[in-house]
Amino acid sequence: MRTESITERLDAVVAILEKHRQGHLTNGLDSVGTTEVESFIEQVESIDFDEIETLTSSDGSAGGIPEDLEPAPVIPRHPKGEASFRSAGEALIRQGEIAAFTVAGGQGTRLGWNGPKGTFPATPITGKPLFRVFAEQLNAIDERYGIETPWYLMTSPLNDAATRAFFRDNNHFGRNPESMLLFPQGVMPAVDDHGRILLEAPGVIAVSPDGHGGSLRALARSGALEHATSRGVKHLSYFQVDNPTVHAIDPLFIGLHATHPTSSGEMSSKMVPKVAAGEKVGVFCSIGGRTQVIEYSDLPTEQAGATTEDGSLRFIAGSIAIHVLAVDFIKRITSAGSETAMPFHHARKKVPFWDPKSGETVTPADPNGTKFEMFVFDALEFVEKGLVYETDRVEEFAPIKNAEGGDSAESSGRLQTERAARWMEAAGSEIARNDDGTVHGQIEVTSETALTGTDLVGQSCPDFAPGSDLVF
């Protein structure tokens, strides 16, 4: 219990701010109440000012591309020994060694949805929210393997309460709340072009979530890693909240990660072949024999466009943010004193700020500040042998990022329908298609019916009437 008075704490905080040339943060503080002052003090106390100074004294650039950059080796979609790797993965699932881990702490600014992204209606016909899509997959996995899959779900301080309320209001979509652990990620202050931390309102520092890479330290800080260990969980199946077609728990991928000779079992990743040189996805590369992701903006045009003898892109392995990470690996790279701290990337953004002159909060028209984010794939740098496995874009990459256009609910819905149609066709159904090859109508297959196309084989699928909506 604290013994200092609020005045003493405030004095200490002011001294810290002065020392780090952030004294302006007390502007307007005399106009707010005691509760607000207390929360301001807590905000300041939680900031690592040395870290901020280090970050603002660099431009955040990646520091050039190394000369020994090579494409990362990729395990093909149907690898040799596929059945035995799948069985190995299934054994781990059955033994309760695998948990699901969803990162849902982002702000979803591009989508512009009023609420956590996971509450967004994602399926093309019934509009199931993203959280429900994953919950139903996990329910089906549990049923199949006779287990109760732990589900770790990272929120942020900005959407934690709303996310919890959503799950509560929906009876956790049939999940046992005891098997779910929600925890907020860390935040970082935003700074202006002079390295001065921005105020959102008097006594309120402008902060934003510290990136999906912040998920690793949030797992450690929240006690989730200990929780996992105490339950015998050894690996986390990591996916992002905005991809409704992800296979939340994929036995083959897990088996490859844990037992393939080219994997150290620390962190493995899925890739899809890039469709064009300029596609805006990170690319799996190998640097000094280690797998790494190079952001599309950092990959020089010459390398991005380079082709192999058969004309395909040399750097073709696009990152789709699906990984499996070992719990022990996350513990190692997040332990106190660890020298494996992940870097922060700098993102120029429009950050609403409070202007002491006008006393108003200003929403800028152009980027006015920098936010700091960690990226989860940067953890690959600390992996001895990072395995990259190829998957199919239609099969498991239909992200919802934007309100319209590419990577929107509409494009994702089309991909979900296309996947369902392919599953049905492989199981012997007739699917009406338009002249351009797209499905004439919409289809939704629930996780209860099938988790993959293989599950439909041998089942009698309902008829699909051209132009109709089919849910089964």
* 450 belongs to the binding site for ligand UTP (CB under 6 A): no
Report residue 41 as tokens. Answer: 């003090």
Q: Is 314 in the site for ligand UTP (CB under 6 A)?
A: no
Burial class (CB in 10 A: 0-12, 13-18, 19+), 200: middle
CA distances from 318 to 160, 355, 401, 450 (A): 31, 42, 17, 27
Question: What minimum distance in Å lies between the beta carbon of 208 and ligand UTP?
Answer: 7
Q: Binder to ligand UTP among 124, 189, 203, 211 (CB under 6 A)?
A: 211
- Residue whose structure tokens are 């990170």: 282
Contact (CB, 8 A) for 374 and 213: yes
Asked if 217 is part of the footprint of ligand UTP (rule: CB under 6 A), the reply reads: no
Residue 227, classed as helix, strand or coil, is helix
Tokens 């498991």 sit at which residue? Answer: 396
Is 117 an interacting residue with respect to ligand UTP (CB under 6 A)? yes
- Region of 186 please: left (phi>0), alpha (psi -120 to 50) or beta: beta
Residue 42 and residue 223 in contact, taking contact as beta carbons nearer than 8 Å: no
Question: Within 33-92, which residues bind ligand UTP (CB under 6 A)?
Answer: none
Closer residue to ligand UTP (CB): 238 or 423: 238
Q: Does 251 bind ligand UTP (CB under 6 A)?
A: no
CB 321, min distance to ligand UTP, A: 7
Site string for ligand UTP, 330-369 (x = CB under 6 A): ----------------------------------------
Judged by CB under 6 A, does residue 104 bind ligand UTP? yes
Please tell me whether residue 284 adopts helix, strand or coil conformation.
strand
> CA-CA distance, 109 to 113, in Å (whole number)?
8
Among 103, 219, 220, 246, binds ligand UTP (CB under 6 A): 103
Instruction: Write each residue from 365 to 404 as x if it is in contact with ligand UTP (CB under 6 A), else as -, in one continuous string.
Output: --------x---------------------------x---
107 belongs to the binding site for ligand UTP (CB under 6 A): yes
**3-state secondary structure at position 215:** helix
Q: Is 453 strand, coil or helix?
A: helix
Q: Which of residues 134-193 bind ligand UTP (CB under 6 A)?
A: 154, 185
Count of chain residues binding ligand UTP (CB under 6 A)? 21
Report angle CA 193, 197, 201 to the nearest 5 degrees.
Answer: 120
**Class of residue 156 by CB neighbours under 10 A (exposed 0-12, middle 13-18, buried 19+):** buried
**Binding segment for ligand UTP among 8-16, 31-39, 138-146, 237-245 (CB under 6 A)?**
237-245
CA atoms of 57 and 52, how far apart (whole Å) = 8
Region binding ligand UTP by CB under 6 A among candidate stretches 234-242, 332-340, 360-368, 464-472: 234-242
- Report the interface residues with ligand UTP, using CB under 6 A: 103-110, 117, 154, 185, 209-212, 214, 240-242, 373, 401
